[in-house]
Amino acid sequence: MEERMPLIGEKFIQIEVQTTHGKVKLPGAYTGKWFVFFSHPADFTPVCTTEFVAFQKRYDEFKKMDCELIGLSIDQVFSHIKWVEWIKDNLKVEIKFPVIADDTGRVANLLGLIHPNKGTNTVRAVFVVDPHSVIRAILYYPQELGRNMDEILRMVKAFQVADKNGVAMPANWPNNELIGDKVIIPPATDEKTAKERMKQYECFDWWLCHKKL
């Protein structure tokens, strides 16, 4: 069977990896927790350094949502350790999440992180994984574009609210242009429910109803 990168709704790959915090089995090490797996092109590069600082600055916010972070690049673990030390010594930021050393490219190939037309390093990928080890979202950025960490935080929070309440989240939630921080009721699937929806919730129409949590 041909290997391919996993898709949204599928389980994260099972693999043991070497990290700056020792060997870790994925996704088992995070069973029962959310985690954000992200790749970066290379250690000791400017955009990646800003990203690591940005992730660490928000690490406590991720932890409050019971969400862990784990990074990866195709550098060796020695490079990761030295780079993390450099960030602490020079930028006064201590990186507290583990970083995977994928110097063989094994994990990168399994997850489709190397795009030949964008060089031989890993692209900036993000996998948001839920407590059941199911991939809920995948983001890919090219090497030249740093990520927006607040959007990744927003995604985890939105997924948790959606799962808990059986609702969907509007664009730019919680600052949507139409309904603010309200959430969307899943569309009715029969005529009776469609009529009842208009009485139960605030609606633009029976298929676009919303409520305040």
Indicate whether 2 pLDDT > 80: no
- Is residue 157 assigned to a domain? no
pTM: 0.94
**Does residue 96 sit in the same domain as residue 140?**
yes
**Does residue 82 sit in the same domain as residue 123?**
yes
- Is residue 44 assigned to a domain? yes
Report residue 156 CA to chain centroid gap.
7
Indicate whether 117 pLDDT > 80: no
Per-residue model confidence (pLDDT) at position 1: 41
Indicate whether 29 pLDDT > 80: yes
**Does residue 42 sit in the same domain as residue 96?**
yes
Per-residue model confidence (pLDDT) at position 211: 97
**Does residue 46 sit in the same domain as residue 104?**
yes
- CA 9 – CA 4 distance, rounded (Å): 14
State the residue range of the domain holding 91: 15-147
**Does residue 107 sit in the same domain as residue 204?**
no
pLDDT (tens digit per residue) in 133-174: 999 999 999 889 999 999 999 999 999 999 999 999 999 999
The pLDDT of 38-60, averaged and rounded, is 97
**Does residue 127 sit in the same domain as residue 173?**
no
**Does residue 126 sit in the same domain as residue 210?**
no
- Is residue 1 assigned to a domain? no
Name beta bridge partners: 68: 35
| Catalytic site residue from 48, 67, 203, 209 | 48
Indicate whether 58 pLDDT > 60: yes
Q: Is 48 a known active-site residue?
A: yes
Identify the helix (H) or strand (E) that includes residue 202.
strand 202-205
Indicate whether 42 pLDDT > 90: yes
**CATH assignment of the domain containing 37:** 3.40.30.10
- Is residue 52 assigned to a domain? yes
Report CA dihedral (21, 80, 119, 127) to the nearest 10 degrees: 30
**Does residue 120 sit in the same domain as residue 213?**
no
At residue 99, what is the residue type? V
Name beta bridge partners: 100: 19, 72
Per-residue model confidence (pLDDT) at position 67: 98
**CATH assignment of the domain containing 199:** 3.30.1020.10
Overall domain count for the chain: 2
**Does residue 114 sit in the same domain as residue 19?**
yes
CB 77 within 8 A of CB 20: yes
| pLDDT category of residue 80 using cuts at 50, 70 and 90 | very high
Residue 124 marked in a binding site: yes
Indicate whether 114 pLDDT > 90: no
